[in-house]
Amino acid sequence: MKTTGIILAGGKSTRLGRNKALEPVLGKRLVQYVYDCLKPLADQVFIVTSKDMAALPYPEGAAVLTDIYPDKGPLSGIYTGLASAKHEYNIVVGCDMPFLNEKLLRHMVGECRGFDAVVPRPSPSTMEPLHAVYSRSCLDRMKSQLEKERLKTLAFFEQINVKYISMQECRTFDPELMSFININNQADLDKSIALARHAAKEEVC
């Protein structure tokens, strides 16, 4: 199934204090890790960001879109990507997830028929709306939510038909749930650098 990849890169990175999309991990920017994972899965990849960050050096080959509804959070970024996507189903991920798992994402795409979204639920109390597959069937309801200033992504799921992927199902493809590591602060970045360094050493061995 052909898909579009949508990378959300419009956050203000206030906790890290600098643009996390461009932070290097072993010499490669975080957003490049994400793009490199999506490229084999999607023949169209967008980076959705704010107007003031649209000219940054994003990965070559990715089209840059600016939020249709500025300053309205991730729901606006998802909507902006879906509005321009040429495929029905779209992989949506954050720009700060360096350990995405291609097999898990492929599995999620394979589960999407008949649903508006496929969303991992790695624990009973958490969902991963920024590591999900969304159908363009979400567009009208998402637009309505945005125009009513109802901006919480998790609340939006109450309006659509969602297939949830359980922790056990996620672990089948990603035993350590590395896919869901993201960067919010310096400690997260340091941890990710250490994990990437360890993985690089194992590849050499």
DSSP track, 88-150? SEEEEEETT-TT--HHHHHHHHHT-TT-SEEEEESBTTB--TTEEEEEGGGHHHHHHHHHTT-
pLDDT at position 124 is 77
Whether the Cβ atoms of residue 181 and residue 97 lie closer than 8 Å to each other: yes
pLDDT at position 10 is 80
pLDDT at position 204 is 45
What pTM, to 2 d.p., does this model score? 0.94
CA 130 – CA 191 distance, rounded (Å): 20
CA 39 – CA 3 distance, rounded (Å): 10
Exposed, middle or buried, 120 (CB in 10 Å: 0-12/13-18/19+)?
A: buried
- C-alpha count within 13 angstroms, C-beta hemisphere, residue 37: 25
CA 74 – CA 178 distance, rounded (Å): 21
Q: Total domain count for the chain?
A: 1
pLDDT at position 35 is 97
Q: What is the pLDDT along the chain (205 residues), one digit of tens a residue?
A: 899 999 999 876 666 768 888 888 998 999 999 999 999 999 999 999 999 888 889 999 899 999 999 999 999 999 999 999 999 999 999 999 999 999 999 999 999 999 999 999 988 778 999 999 999 999 999 999 999 999 999 889 999 999 999 999 999 999 999 999 999 889 999 899 999 987 776 554 3
pLDDT at position 107 is 97
pLDDT at position 17 is 66
Whether the Cβ atoms of residue 20 and residue 12 lie closer than 8 Å to each other: no
pLDDT at position 73 is 93
Question: For the domain that residue 87 is a member of, what is the CATH number?
Answer: 3.90.550.10
CA 12 – CA 112 distance, rounded (Å): 31
Whether the Cβ atoms of residue 64 and residue 8 lie closer than 8 Å to each other: no
Residue 99: domain span: 4-204
pLDDT at position 134 is 98
* Residue whose tokens read 């997260």: 188
- C-alpha count within 13 angstroms, C-beta hemisphere, residue 102: 9
Closest-CA residue to 197 (of 25, 23, 33, 32): 25
